[in-house]
Amino acid sequence: FRPRGVGVVTRRPLVLQLFNVPRDGAGEEHKAVAGVDVEGEEWGEFAHLPSTRFTDFAEIRNEIERETERTTGRNKGISKSPIHLKIYSPHVLNLTVVDLPGITKVPVGDQPNDIEAQIRNMCHEYITNPSSVILAVSAANQDIANSDALKVALEVDPEGHRTIGVLTKVDLMDSGTDALDILHGRVIPLRHGFVGVVNRSQKDINEGMTIREALVNERHFFQRHPAYRSIANRMGSQYLAKVLNLILMHHIRDCLPTIKTRIMGMLVDIQHEMSSLGEPVKEQSHTLKGGLLLSMLSKFAANFSAAIDGKAHMGELSELYGGARIAFIFNEVFVKLVESFDPCDGLSDTDIQTAIFNATGCRAPLFVPEGAFEILVRRQVKRLEQPGLQCVDLVYDELMHVASQCESTELRRFDQLRDNVIDVVHGLLRKTLTPTQTMISNLIHMELAHINTSHPDFIGGSRAVQQLLERMADGGAPEFEDVEEVGEGARRAPRRHPEETESSELSGDGSSPDDDEYGDNNAFAGFLSKVRRGDRSGGGGG
């Protein structure tokens, strides 16, 4: 009943499950257990049509073709989605067989260019299972050394412990040739050997030859052929079915302890998972359901708080999570970024001088004007706003991540409820993002509105003089950087870049050419210079 034709016919894996149904009363019991109500002793069921039973095997073949075309189209496309078919009959053994597409070298129709690689990967998905038995089908009228089926099988089973060779078209070999060397394992040795079969030709199928007639013809061929007569009892489709069933039973017996251990482990894991999911809710009242909902929401909130407080159990140790990551953002990322700022970064000597000139107008200043200082300081304080906003964004991203990871096991049962809870929490975090950013900006604007020169860390003019007098009272000589002295007068040289530094010329009495504009400042610098030398007599710039 499998579709046959020219070219690629099997384009989807066909999972064929065979169930032996006895002819006696046990068969009727099996029908009742299987939930079928059909006349006759053979029928088939498709997994995609669970309510339909097929008693005509020609209809089964047509349904396989329709289901194949439904997924792959009619132009030779392939798909790894399997077709599941169950066959109930007294003429079969309890067996599960997977019919896979043959390996195609050259793409035809709608097949992609990598059709060979796709089919090989599809075959590997089934034959790499160590519990499976591989049926490598090759044609007897072709060189067995070029068999793709044997090549793929030996790639995953190099010792041939679970591979059975099937040799088809034995009746189509050239006259005077036979396949005895292959069947005896002299060419390619396999643990389970090779079995030769003779299938119906397309002409036989078109003429309506039944399976039973084909089996009779196959048995007569091997019994009457001079080369195969001695091994006829080990040839044919019926013998192959018995060998497959026997090998599969031994294979299951050998793998049963491992399979049993694996099943028990899976059972324990599933039971643990079921117990962690909580009680069933179908039979609960609305009150109990409301209590369950409140419990799940409370656990979500507790998990969120635990993640922030560092009490959440995290198996991942390669990265920070929750409160630890937020603390890292505050104490490492933000602090280091702020400490890396240079207060004078972006302020050139020209900028400072221009600010002083603009703040004094047309008057000659005695000291550095406070307005110029505030203008320059506000410009630098404003630069602290962007790092603060970046810190808010980093903390926001981490809180969003924590919210996505805080669902409890019970909440994971209900996908829609879980998604809604996380969406609500994310919405709350999004609502608080803008007010937080506004608060950071307001803090910076507060600092810009009032420059607090009364702070203990601030060193103004009066405090600088006070520190100078304290040093003098202790007997220490005050030190001044960049102070130029000539005679009895001295002044502080303006800060310049190294390439711009030039020696300043002073007039004979210790005054510079710019003393007309900065005379008072120079007089004060000259006084400090005399104090530094211990000369308290007036004159010079005083």
- Give 469-521 pLDDT, tens digit per residue: 887 887 655 554 444 443 334 344 444 444 444 444 433 444 444 444 444 44
Q: Does residue 260 form part of some domain?
A: yes
Q: Does residue 293 form part of some domain?
A: no
Q: Does residue 330 form part of some domain?
A: yes
pLDDT value of residue 15? 85
> Over pLDDT 70: what percentage of the chain?
76
pTM reported for the whole predicted model: 0.46
Residues 61/46, Cβ–Cβ less than 8 Å = no
Same domain, 480 and 425: no
pLDDT value of residue 402? 85
Same domain, 489 and 527: yes
Token pair belonging to 168: 């088809």
Q: Does residue 289 form part of some domain?
A: no
CB atoms within 10 A of CB 14: 20
Taking residues 57-69, report their average pLDDT: 80
What φ, ψ does residue 194 adopt, rounded to 5°?
-115, 150
CA separation for the pair 489, 510 (Å, rounded)? 5
Q: Does residue 286 form part of some domain?
A: no
Same domain, 247 and 337: no
Q: Which of 103, 120, 153 corresponds to the end of one domain?
A: 103
Q: Does residue 285 form part of some domain?
A: no
Same domain, 306 and 385: yes
Reference 295, options 307, 314, 281; nearest CA is: 281
**Containing structural domain, residue 342:** 299-449
Token pair belonging to 177: 């040739």
What φ, ψ does residue 417 adopt, rounded to 5°?
-65, -45
Query: Which residues fall within 8 angstroms of residue 161, CB to CB, at 6 or more apart?
Result: 191
* Mean pLDDT for all residues in the chain: 75
Reported confidence tier of residue 278, pLDDT bands at 50, 70, 90 = low
Reference 402, options 293, 317, 324, 333; nearest CA is: 324
pLDDT value of residue 277? 67
pLDDT value of residue 492? 41
**Residue 465, CB half-sphere, CA atoms under 13 Å: how many?**
7
**SS3 assignment, position 503:** coil
> pLDDT by residue (tens digit) across 191-249?
888 888 888 887 877 787 888 888 888 898 888 888 888 888 888 888 888 888 788 78
Q: At residue 391, does pLDDT exceed 60?
A: yes
Q: Which of 449, 472, 506 corresponds to the end of one domain?
A: 449
Long-range CB contacts (< 8 A, 24+ apart) of 156-161? 156/124, 156/127, 156/128, 157/127, 159/191, 160/189, 160/190, 160/191, 160/192, 161/191
Same domain, 248 and 140: yes
Same domain, 391 and 472: no
Q: Which of 245, 276, 307 corresponds to the end of one domain?
A: 276
Same domain, 322 and 191: no
**CATH code of the domain in which 12 resides:** 3.40.50.300
CA separation for the pair 187, 513 (Å, rounded)? 112
Reported confidence tier of residue 6, pLDDT bands at 50, 70, 90 = low
Residue in the structure block whose two tokens are 């507790």: 302
Query: Which residues fall within 8 angstroms of residue 368, CB to CB, at 6 or more apart?
Result: 356, 461
Q: At residue 463, does pLDDT exceed 60?
A: yes
Query: Which residues fall within 8 angstroms of residue 90, CB to CB, at 6 or more apart?
Result: 20, 21, 22, 23, 27, 41, 42
> pLDDT by residue (tens digit) across 163-198?
888 888 888 888 888 888 888 888 888 888 888 888
Q: Does residue 291 form part of some domain?
A: no
Residues 364/437, Cβ–Cβ less than 8 Å = no
Token pair belonging to 59: 């209809």
Identify the helix (H) or strand (E) that includes residue 100.
Answer: none
Query: Which residues fall within 8 angstroms of residue 127, CB to CB, at 6 or more apart?
Result: 134, 152, 153, 156, 157
Reported confidence tier of residue 83, pLDDT bands at 50, 70, 90 = confident
CA separation for the pair 93, 19 (Å, rounded)? 6
Same domain, 171 and 250: yes
Same domain, 308 and 427: yes
Same domain, 159 and 95: no
> How many domains, in total, are found in the chain?
4
> pLDDT by residue (tens digit) across 408-444?
777 777 788 888 888 898 999 899 999 999 999 998 8
Residue in the structure block whose two tokens are 């909902």: 293
Q: At residue 34, does pLDDT exceed 70?
A: no
